[in-house]
Every structure is written in C-alpha cells, then in structure tokens.
Amino acid sequence: MEASIYQVLVAVFLRSLGFFSVLPIPLNITGLSIRVALASALSLFYCTLIPPCGTLSLLGSFTQLLVGLSLSLPLLLFVSAVSGIGECLDAFRGQTLAAMYDLSGSSPLSVSSALLRHYGWAFLLIVGGAEANAQVIGESFSTIPLNFLAPEEIVVNAQRMISLSVLSLKHMVLVVLPLGICCILVEGIGGLIGRIASGLNVYGESFQIKSFLSLLSIYGLVRVGVLENFQTFIYSLQQSIVSF
C-alpha cells in the first residue's frame, strides 16, 4: 500500500513539475526550487485523491513530464502570441536595428516584446489563471490516468494525441492571426500618413509615428477584450487536453 502511494506521489509530482517548468522564472537554483516546491505542494494535495497505479517505469516517468508540458502549452501559446506582437511592432518601426549598433550586445532585442510578455503573465494571474490551472491539473488525473500507456491503449492514445496536435495548431492560428493583422495595419497606416503628408518630411519621424500607432493598437487590443478572447481559447484548449 505504501509503495502504491509512493508511485502515485512520484507520478503526480512529475506531471506537476512538467506543468510548472514553463513559469517565467530563471533556470537557476532559486527558480528550480520554486518549481519543485509548487509541484510538491500539488503532489501532496492530489496524491490521496488518485487511485493507485502500477509500477512507474522510466518511460512512464518521462510521459508524466510530457503530459504536464502539454497542459502548459496553452499558456505558452498565449504569452508567445502577446510577446510576438511586441516583437513585430518593434521590427516594423525599426527598433531592432538599434541592436546592430550595440557593441556590448547587452540591450534586449525587443523591449515591447519583453513588456507584453510580462503583461501576459500578469494578466493570467489577475483573471484567476493560477486557480483555474491548478484545477485543470487535478481534472487531468481522472481523464489521463497515470498508467495511460498500457499496451492495449497505445494506438488509441496516439490517435488522440495527433488530433490534439491539430486542435492546438488551429487555436494557434486563431490567436496569432489578429495580432499579425494588427501589425500590418500599423505599417500600412504609417505608410498612408507618409503618402497623405507628401509635402512633409515624415520619414525622419516615422519611428515616433509608428511608436504612437503601436501604443494605440496595444491599447485597443486591451480595451476591446481581445485578451479575454485569448483566455477563452486557453481554457477551451486545456479542456480539450483534459478530455483527451
């Protein structure tokens, strides 16, 4: 009995550790300690609620890490999409050209990308993402059992994983597409201003113009609730993974 509880505890810990590995924390001693502490807390909470599993093999241990990572993919999708628009906006307004003249190489490649990435993680915490994702991890143990790599179920589970990959790609397109359109609009409006004010030398002021348009577009995305739609995509994709 104690051996079964130990196997469950290790399996839950590995799945939770795979999920928390995507946190925006540096990969140093402190960051690893935080990840291990969070995974240990979830393991102690859920280990008594999960039925015992068989012997946990090396392949099963690696699989638990992969399951945890798959549950965290929607979060990475959201943050990467938000960060991507910042990088695109900086590229369109010529901000990344400054890196060519930075002899020290210490300046970040995209300031807007880093800013929006941190905002994305903060937004997830503000809207209750921590509690919701802890619940998603708990639900995954009933739909994706700890011993789901049983020989008689490998083919069926492989087909489900392929379907899940296609669904993830679909959600990625739905998230990234409006961000790409926003970047193109900023570039197009900047060029339109240059055409309309052809008598003025707006070329030298294009950086300021595009910076202002970029800030307006980011503010507009926040105001119209695009991030809330992204949150819906995240939870629906996570539920698809959980119900896999």
DSSP, res 78:
H
Tens-place pLDDT, residues 21-55: 877 777 778 888 888 888 888 888 777 777 666 56
Q: Please give the model's pTM, rounded to 2 decimal places.
A: 0.62
Residue-wise pLDDT tens digits, 64-106: 788 788 777 777 777 777 777 777 777 666 655 555 555 455 5
> Which DSSP symbol is given to 27?
S
- Number of structural domains (the chain) is 1
Q: pLDDT for 97-144, tens place per residue? A: 555 555 455 555 577 777 778 877 777 777 666 677 777 777 777 767
In 7-41, which positions are buried (b, 16+ CB within 10 angstroms) versus exposed (e)?
bbbbbbbbbbbbbbbbeeeeeeeeeeeebeebbee
Question: Where does the pLDDT of residue 63 fall: very low under 50, low under 70, confident under 90, or very high at 90 and above?
Answer: confident
pLDDT digits (tens, 9 = 90+) for 172-220: 666 666 666 766 776 677 667 667 766 655 555 556 666 666 667 666 6
- Cα–Cα distance for residue pair 136/117, rounded to 1 Å: 23
Which 3 state secondary structure label does DSSP give 67? helix
Residues in the chain: 244
Please give the Cα distance from 117 to 197 (Å, whole number). Answer: 35
**67: containing domain:** 2-242
CB atoms within 10 A of CB 216: 12
Cβ-count burial of 201 within 10 angstroms (0-12 exposed, 13-18 middle, 19+ buried)?
exposed
Spatial contact of 224 and 141, defined as CB atoms under 8 Å apart: no
Confidence of residue 62 (pLDDT cuts 50, 70, 90): confident
